[in-house]
Amino acid sequence: MNFKPLGKRVLIRREEEQKTTASGIILPDNAKEKPLQGTVLAVGEKAHKKGITEGDKVVFGKYAGVEITMDGEELLVLESDDILGILN
């Protein structure tokens, strides 16, 4: 994959969607919500200044970003301001 976000943008791979509930009930595709956390794959120059680096696990807003497909994989491009925090 060769994608370099510009400015304050960040490229993120969402975490896997949950296929079952905590009690073991299997969820149909239309009942699943997309995860609100993921791993940073690439960072624009200005996002680096905010302390976001490649490999960080981050949490972001529900309606943040633009979904793109690269190499058959759905990824998310969003502004660094849409990142709510970094998970340790």
Assigned domain for 22 exists = no
Assigned domain for 1 exists = no
pLDDT at position 27 is 59
pLDDT at position 18 is 60
What's the pTM?
0.79
b/e per residue, 56-82, with b = 16+ CB within 10 A?
Answer: bebebeeebbeeeeeeeeebbbbbbeb
**Does position 81 have pLDDT exceeding 60, yes or no?**
yes
Q: Which one has a higher pLDDT value, 56 or 24? A: 56
| Mean of pLDDT values over 14-38 | 69
pLDDT at position 42 is 96
Assigned domain for 25 exists = no
Assigned domain for 26 exists = no
Contact 14, 74 (CB under 8 A): yes
Assigned domain for 23 exists = no
CATH of the domain at 58: 2.30.33.40
Q: What pLDDT digit, counting tens, does each position of 44-77 carry?
A: 999 988 899 999 999 998 889 999 999 999 999 9
Q: Which one has a higher pLDDT value, 32 or 62? A: 62
How many structural domains does the chain have?
1
Assigned domain for 70 exists = yes
Assigned domain for 47 exists = yes
Range of the structural domain that residue 80 is part of: 9-14+36-87
